[in-house]
Structure formats: C-alpha cells, structure tokens
Amino acid sequence: MEITHKQIPFSQASHFPKLFIDYIDRNPQLSGFYDSFPNLAGFKETISKRKFKHRKELVEALNNQYQGIENPPNIDILLKENTFTVTTGHQLNIFTGPLYVIYKIVSTINLAKKLKVAFPENNFVPVYWMATEDHDFEEISYFNLFGQKHKWETEQKGGVGRMNPSELLQIIEGLRDKPEVFARAYGENSTLAGAVRQYMHELFGAEGLVCIDGDNRLLKSVFAPIMKKDIVENAAEKIVAETSARLENQGYKTQIHARNINFFYLEENLRERIEKNGEKYVVVNTDLSFSESEILEILEKTPEKISPNVVLRPIYQETILPNLAYLGGPSEVCYWLQLKDIFEHHQVQFPILLPRNLALAINEGTKKRMEKLGIEAEELFQDDVTLKRNFVEKNSENSLSLADEISQIASAFDQIIKKAAEVDPTLKPAMESEKVKNATSLEHLEKRIKKAEEKKFETSLAQLQGLKEKLFPGGGLQERSDNFLNFYLNDSGFISKISQTFDPLDFKFNIVFV
C-alpha cells in the first residue's frame, strides 16, 4: 500500500526549542551533554558498552504484570545478554490522549526493527514506560474527538495508574462510535495501569511492544540503592543546577530543576513530595514524617512507597532496563540533556536521545479541500497573516506589489537629493526625511490595495482559515490536540499507514496523507 508522504525541516514546521534544533544539528557546543548521537554508529558504540545485571528481576516483574493478557509478548527474551530495549514513555492519558502518544510508540517499534536489520546478532525490544505513578490527573483526564472535548470526572486521587477506570465506560456510552478496544480495557481492569497495558497490547502487541509499570516492589528494590544515596547525600540539586547553568550560559533555556529530596511518598490515594525539615523527612500536605532510619527502613522493606520525580525517574528507567535509547518529544529531549552529569554521579549509563517522529496527518476529505483551494500542506505552517497574504497574491489577477514603483521613486529621490545638496548641503536632511515619508506612504497604499483585493477572496480565505484551524487546532500542532480515534474509527489501517512512513533516524517533520 503506497502512502503519500512529505517531509519538511523542523525549522519550517513550527517553533521548536533552540536546544532541540541544535542537538539534532549536532552543534559541537552540546557534545558534553550526551554520550552517543542517534545514528547507527552511535548505536554500535552504545551496544558495545551497555552492561546490565538485573535481567532476572526485570523478567519476573514483567511476567507478573502480564498475567491475564492473552498472547503476551516474548518477555523471556530479555534474559539473553544480547537483548536490549529501546524505550519511550508517557502519562496514562485516557483513550491514549493526543496523537503524539501513538507516534511515540510507532517510532519506538520502528527503531527496534531498524536496529535488528543493522545488528542482526542482537535482539531489540520496544518498551512503553507507563507513567503510572504520576499524580497530575488534570493532564490525563480528557481527550479531543471530532472537535469535542471528553473529560473524566472522578474523586480518585494519588498515582493515576492505581485509579479504577470503570467510570470511563460512561464516556464510551456517549460516543457515536464506541471503540471496543477501550470498552474492553476499561471494563475488564480494576486499575488504569492494567487497562492501558491491555489496550496497548491489543494495538501494538503483535509488534513486540512491552509495557512496563515502575510502580512495583521488585523493580523499586533494584533501584533502592540509588534512592538511598540520593536521600542521604542530596547531590542531585547541586549537580543538575551546575549542568543547567552550563546550558544557560550557552544561551539555552532549561526546563527542570532538582530538589534537595527528589522523591514522593506513594500510597493509595496519595502521592506527595518528601521534604527535609531539620532531622525529619516530612510528607507535604500530610501529618506523615520520618527519621532518617525510618525512611531508610521504608526503602529496604517497602521501596514501592518511594516514587522518583522528573529528575530521577529517567535514572530509575535506565537502572531496571537494558536500555539503549529513549525516544521523546522536543521538550523531553531538552530536559534529558540536563541530566547527563547526575547519571554519571550514580554510575548509570546515559542512553541515546532520539526525537520521536512528529507528523501532520491529512485524510482524503481534507486533501480534497486543499486541492480545491490550490494550497500545499507545507504552506499551512505559515502564520495566519503570511498565509492569507501569499494566498491572495498567488490567486489575484492583479499585481498587488508596489515594490518596483517604490524602488523607482526612491532612485528618483536620490537624484533629487544629490542635486539639492549641490545647491545647498543644508537641504539634504530635509530631502532625506521626505524620501522616508514618501516610502512609508507608498507602503501604506500597498497595504490598502492588498486589503481591497482580499475582500474579493473573502469566501476562499474563510475556507482557508477553516482548513488551517482543522489541521492546527487553536494554532498548535494537530498531534498535540487530536486523538488518533479521529482517524482510526474511519480507517482501522491508520496506525499501519503511519508506521510505513516513520523513520526514527530521519529527523524531519512528516506530512502523511492517509
């Protein structure tokens, strides 16, 4: 099946952080903030260095998590020394959330396939890290389908992965098309983590995707020595601040900040930060507090009650997985670049950082609207003013630019100024001022001409604006707003079509006609 596909540079697609653009452009000043660059040579180097000693614990935890899943992935392959993972992660947005969550997973699966071709002597497992411990419910509580926002209302609190998803069946009942994959997942599982694992397996299990839940006693016990070190030494705050300062001194903006204590206390209906207050470790917004010996005892006996924040979660991931690479969006790539020094402090190998594939998906109906207007997809990335101006100029039968005339009159003024200066040099400033006034007047006249011509295109410009809003909801990228069901409900082959076009090692923005 041939899929029409275009690519444009990230710089043309939208505004991405300078740090991200410079990273993928291999700016030499960033070389100290990562180990290997995301290309096949970089992977060859990383494979040769990657050592991992917790395969037994990882496989045991994953086999337990996949109990009850039909046709589970081949988890036991992770016991082999020549098996590695490539990982993406995200919050447990309901109904998968925005399109880019699907794009993350497709990118990761395609990377595993590409690496298997390049290094056939090794095995590569694509992993989705489910952010089950995250407690920012508002960020995961809604999705947009066919222009309508659907929101999960609940009184549940704490880590979202532990929440019961049965309330989401009410949303499904209100949909015109009822997606069975989600009806099964939300109806058959008592936790959101279980539901997400089930529907991700149904959508991607055949491609070998493994979903991992870090909210796990065995996996936390593997990570416990690093948690203990951070709690006792409090080194992360200083190390990350120094790395961030180096980036900022080079003109980049940084996104995350380490704390003195980089952990939350996690129980049912509770995930709150741990802070050091004198000799006590207190759980904010609660009456809970612990001495150092008590909190170290928690780490030893019930490590699942300690949950890392954004600074140490990546280190947790790399501690419990034989991982080679992390795939994330532009913002994620940027904040991972702040973490290399803290990885070195804990003697954990820093993974290769890849931008996941970014895309604009255009269906047949939208494509026909574009053809009717004579507009190319890449033109729609322009700001509204530029888009309208260029559209009118391209379609007008009249010449709307006064550039030639302004240039001719400017030349005439130059001759006049020259003659006047020969007669009386004191006339020159006044004449130059008249030249500027004249040019400004002509520019205003040009704008009036173009505005008058725009009125002839009011209907077409309204259609163009509607098209832009459909593909760039609220002025942002489609993938950050629309849900994949916008396409999947009408075309069950949508994910397959996207998969055919995504190359995880080709760092450009994709435009896919599906």
CA–CA distance, 334 with 19 (Å, rounded to integer): 6
Residues 314-323 pLDDT 10s: 999 999 999 9
Candidates 49, 51, 40; CA nearest to 117 is 40
Helix (H, G, I), strand (E, B) or coil at 398: coil
Indicate if the pLDDT at residue 431 is higher than 90: no
CA–CA distance, 412 with 389 (Å, rounded to integer): 29
Predicted confidence at residue 312, as pLDDT, reads 97
Indicate if the pLDDT at residue 2 is higher than 90: no
| Identity at 129, one-letter amino acid code | W
| Rounded mean pLDDT, 160-187 | 95
Least confident of 1-10, 110-119, 350-359: 1-10
DSSP label of 496: H
pLDDT tier for residue 162 given thresholds of 50, 70 and 90: very high
Helices (H), 83-191: 99-118, 137-140, 169-173, 180-188
Radius of gyration of the chain (CA): 28
Predicted confidence at residue 397, as pLDDT, reads 61
Q: For residue 349, what are its two tokens?
A: 């190998």
| Rounded mean pLDDT, 332-356 | 97
Share of the chain above pLDDT 70, in %: 97
Helix (H, G, I), strand (E, B) or coil at 280: strand
The predicted model scores a pTM of 0.89
Q: What's the mean per-residue pLDDT of the chain?
A: 93
Indicate if the pLDDT at residue 120 is higher than 70: yes
Indicate if the pLDDT at residue 400 is higher than 60: no
Residues 21-75 pLDDT 10s: 999 999 999 999 999 999 999 999 999 999 999 999 999 999 999 999 999 999 9
Higher pLDDT, 432 or 295: 295
Predicted confidence at residue 432, as pLDDT, reads 80
Q: CA neighbours within 13 Å on the CB side: how many for 290?
A: 17
| Rounded mean pLDDT, 262-290 | 95
Helix (H, G, I), strand (E, B) or coil at 512: strand
Predicted confidence at residue 450, as pLDDT, reads 63
| Rounded mean pLDDT, 293-309 | 96
Domain locations in the chain as residue ranges:
4-222+308-362+490-513, 377-475
Burial 305-321, CB ≥16 within 10 A → b, else e: bbbbbebbbbbbbbbbb
pLDDT tier for residue 198 given thresholds of 50, 70 and 90: very high
Residues 475-505 pLDDT 10s: 999 999 999 999 999 999 999 999 999 999 9
Question: Which residues pair with residue 308 across a beta bridge?
Answer: 263
β-strands 509-513, 142-145 pairing: unpaired
| Rounded mean pLDDT, 351-364 | 96
Predicted confidence at residue 509, as pLDDT, reads 95
Q: For residue 255, what are its two tokens?
A: 């996104």
Predicted confidence at residue 428, as pLDDT, reads 81
Predicted confidence at residue 437, as pLDDT, reads 84
Residues 225-269 pLDDT 10s: 999 999 999 999 999 999 999 999 999 999 999 999 999 999 999
Residues 443-466 pLDDT 10s: 777 677 667 666 777 888 899 999
Least confident of 93-107, 129-143, 409-423: 409-423
Quickly tell me which residue has 């530029």 as its tokens: 386
Indicate if the pLDDT at residue 398 is higher than 90: no
Predicted confidence at residue 399, as pLDDT, reads 60
> 305, 263 in Cβ contact below 8 A?
no
